[in-house]
């Protein structure tokens, strides 16, 4: 199974990611937890279909479902954040 490169937890069993704030070039992004999306309405106890966190928990970074708290679009695609490559680079350096 996959391990989150940011919180280093097993994604299938972790309740939430522990990285609450993401640095942006223009400031910081306070992340939206699973269940606060405009296009998703999880049932009680339903894990995120992509990253498997529990409702109310932060998505693991890079989750398809997470919405950008800044612009409201899909965080992976909205362009506010282009740090994913850097996150992976850091992970490789630490490994
Ligand atoms: Zn995580
Ligand atoms: Zn998710
Ligand atoms: Zn955005």
Give the angle 66-71-75 at the CA atoms, nearest 5°.
30
Task: Give the pLDDT confidence score for residue 39 in this predicted structure.
Answer: 86
Which pair of tokens denotes residue 60?
A: 């693991």
Tell me the average pLDDT across 56-78.
Answer: 91
CA of 57 from ligand 1 middle (Å) equals 10
Query: How many Å lie between the centroid of ligand 1 and the Cα of residue 44?
Result: 21
- In the numeric block, the tokens 């606060």 are attached to 36
Q: 54 C-alpha vs ligand 2 centroid, how far in Å?
A: 9
Mean residue pLDDT across the chain: 85
**For residue 89, pLDDT beyond 50:** no
């Amino acid at each position: 199974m996959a391990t989150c490169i940011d919180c280093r937890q097993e994604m299938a069993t972790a309740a939430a990611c522990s990285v609450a704030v993401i640095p942006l070039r223009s400031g910081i992004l306070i992340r939206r937890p699973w269940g606060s999306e405009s296009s998703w309405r999880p049932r009680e106890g339903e894990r995120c279909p992509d990253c498997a966190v529990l409702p109310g928990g932060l998505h693991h970074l890079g989750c398809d479902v997470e919405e950008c708290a800044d612009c409201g679009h899909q965080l992976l695609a909205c362009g506010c954040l282009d740090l994913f490559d850097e996150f992976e680079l850091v992970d490789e350096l630490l490994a």
